[in-house]
Structure 1
Amino acid sequence: MTMQPDNKGGTSMRRRICILGGTGFVGKYLINHLVREGHSIRVLTRRREAHRELLVMPTVEVFDANVHDENALNRFFADQDAVINLVGILNEPRDNGKGFYRAHVELSDKVIRACRKHGIQRLLHMSALNADPGTGSSYYLRSKGEAENRVHAAPQLNVTSFRPSVIFGPEDSFINRFASLLKKTPWLFPLACPDARFAPVYVGDVATVFTRSLNDPATYGQRYDLCGPHEYTLQQIVERIADTLDINRRIIPLGRIASTLQANLLEYAPGKPFSRDNYRSLQMDSTCPEGDKILREVFGIEPAALESVIPQYLRHKTYRDRYQVFRRKARRE
């Protein structure tokens, strides 16, 4: 860890940070923020060569590693000042909770042991809104809650955990998934759990929160709920996506029985577009009692609203897709 002049005439700490889950959606945004702050980043991934965009970034190293291998964690944590764990899964192979427990709880235990072994005292942990080992409505939320409790109970660790609502932005797996389904579904679009409520938070705001908390002792031991400025039902979000894409679809809201049936059917569909555990998670509203207060008052962020951001990437993607089609046709001709 080094102290270097910042652009405000003061000094700031430049840390060596190992990131787990850094090649994912949130990770790439966060790495960009951390690089701009001058931190040295070490990213662990199963497929190093698949992430060439990270290889060319200054102060970023990317290594082939299985994050579930404790020996690998010990090897790559050895000379680091902080660790950020972004690893999370939304579905598991079987609907029994074991996949979630391995990805969230067992990995967190390994991270704790490796941090303690190498004297690392700073850990940033990605959790989820409504994460709770006792009251979470799904395996996902209960395992996230158990992992969160374990890292906060670990001795000699200064932990900050973040509990976002659904995160949106280019390359997200939420808005883009519904956009893809809307394009593929003609005329009628059956929607499970249409009244589930969300307060979507922008990925850039999440990355800023992580970055600002890194060297801030006031955030040690804190668990922050992260929500955007507005709440929406799932049906309102899907309707907004359809309007943005100028797709004429009639959204058919499904009741509890039909929603459960859809989850049971899609549990076995390729890619699991909707699972039983997703359905259970949607039984709890993903909103914050005090709205976006944390972003504004704790981190000084003016949060981005869903409706101001998604047109920028959904419409751009549509035009880019059309361009790719034209290119393919040109090559055939």
Structure 2
Amino acid sequence: MNVQSVCVLGGTGFVGRHLVTRLANSGRQVTVLTRHRERRCRELLVMPNVELVEAQVGDRAALLAAFAGQDAVINLIGILNEDTAQRFDDVHATLPGRVADACREAGVARLLHMSALNADAVNGASHYLKSKGIGEDAAHAVSGVAVTSFRPSIIFGGDDSFFNRFARLLRLAPALPLACPGARFQPVYVGDVANAFVRSLDAADSVGQRLELGGPRIYTLRELVEYTAQLIGVKRLVIGLPDGLARLQAAIFERLPGKPFTTDNYRSLQVDSVVRGTDGFALLGITPRSVEAVMPREMKSRNYRGSYDGYRTRAARD
């Protein structure tokens, strides 16, 4: 395989910005589809080898036009919660098959698809995970296109929505009631995820694979929240909620603006987000970076003040 031109769907999002930068720096020509060219990621507009094109990804004709002449397509589009404009069935379940079909019709030989750990069309613990599984299966079912899907645990980085959300919450009150404190994650650095996508473009042994991506260490949700408090230099009481109260919190919070926590999120947390299948990093020869190696510097760069000495000592001991 010799992929020189790539069309990216979802290229203005958190993972997308990092991935597009990696692709452009590798010398590839990158086309990023976006609904609002001038509003999203203006830094991409001035990046060499990158072109932002306005398009509606639900429009088959628009996809065919954008995919024409491309060597590969990468689909990163996904949502954490539903609203009146975006539904799991449309974004996760239906779109991936439509993208794969458009690749076949446009003559695109390579497709990379972003899924999620525990995605399962039949036995997914939540609507989110079931819809992810349906879409992943649909992409792999299209003949004539070399498909690789990626199943990451939670993805972290300086501009993520995980550590930064908890950092904001921890600054608001002396205690934080936390649903599902024992839920387990294997956080993976966004730069390593981007690297996995780039390497797999030309890796023949990744074709047809559903690669799971996890970092070098497993944490409970409570551990990650308490660690975040250390990073921003605050002392907070993290109160683990029993199951009944966790469900109640979800029922209340999903009615708030922005839906900070939903019943579907609660259901997803009932299954540990850890690697059990094919280790994508091992297959691609990547050594993933740890939370400890990345986040102290990243959080400090975002003007979160605090001492890291205690955490560094514990990290070295571990």
Give TM-score scaled by structure 2 length.
0.92
Q: Is 1:279 aligned with 2:266?
A: yes
Report the secondary structure of 1:48's partner residue. Answer: coil
Q: Which runs of 5+ in 1 are unaligned?
A: 1-11, 321-333
Counterparts of 1:101 and 1:247, CA distance in 2: 40
Superposed displacement of residue 86, structure 1: 0.3
Counterparts of 1:161 and 1:120, CA distance in 2: 16
Superposed displacement of residue 289, structure 1: 3.1
Counterparts of 2:139 and 2:279, CA distance in 1: 25
Residue type of the alignment partner of 1:55 = L
Superposed displacement of residue 284, structure 1: 0.4
Contact 1:14–1:37 (Cα < 8 Å) also in 2: no
Q: Identity across aligned pairs (percent)?
A: 51
CA-based RMSD: 1.6
1:189 counterpart residue number: 176
1:43 counterpart residue number: 32
Q: Is 1:270 aligned with 2:257?
A: yes
Residue type of the alignment partner of 1:83 = V
Q: Is 1:126 aligned with 2:114?
A: yes
Residue type of the alignment partner of 1:316 = S
2:139 counterpart residue number: 151
Count of residues in Structure 1 that have an aligned counterpart in Structure 2:
303
Contact 1:45–1:64 (Cα < 8 Å) also in 2: yes
Matches within 5 A, 1:100-179: 100-179=88-167
2:286 counterpart residue number: 301
Counterparts of 2:276 and 2:64, CA distance in 1: 39
Select 1:200's aligned residue among 177, 187, 193: 187
Report the secondary structure of 1:248's partner residue. Answer: coil
Query: In 2 relative to 1, CA 87–293 (structure 1 residues): closer, same or farther, beyond 3 Å?
Result: closer
Superposed displacement of residue 319, structure 1: 5.2
1:85 counterpart residue number: 75
1:74 counterpart residue number: 64
Contact 1:22–1:44 (Cα < 8 Å) also in 2: yes
Larger Cα-atom Rg: 1
- Identify which range, 45-54 or 231-240, moves more after superposition: 45-54
Contact 2:200–2:206 (Cα < 8 Å) also in 1: yes
Contact 1:127–1:144 (Cα < 8 Å) also in 2: yes
Q: Which runs of 5+ in 2 are unaligned?
A: 306-318
1:331 counterpart residue number: none
Q: Is 1:24 aligned with 2:13?
A: yes
Give TM-score scaled by structure 1 length.
0.88
2:50 counterpart residue number: 60
1:13 counterpart residue number: 2
Select 2:214's aligned residue among 202, 206, 227: 227
Residue type of the alignment partner of 1:69 = D
Counterparts of 1:23 and 1:182, CA distance in 2: 28
Select 2:236's aligned residue among 220, 242, 249: 249
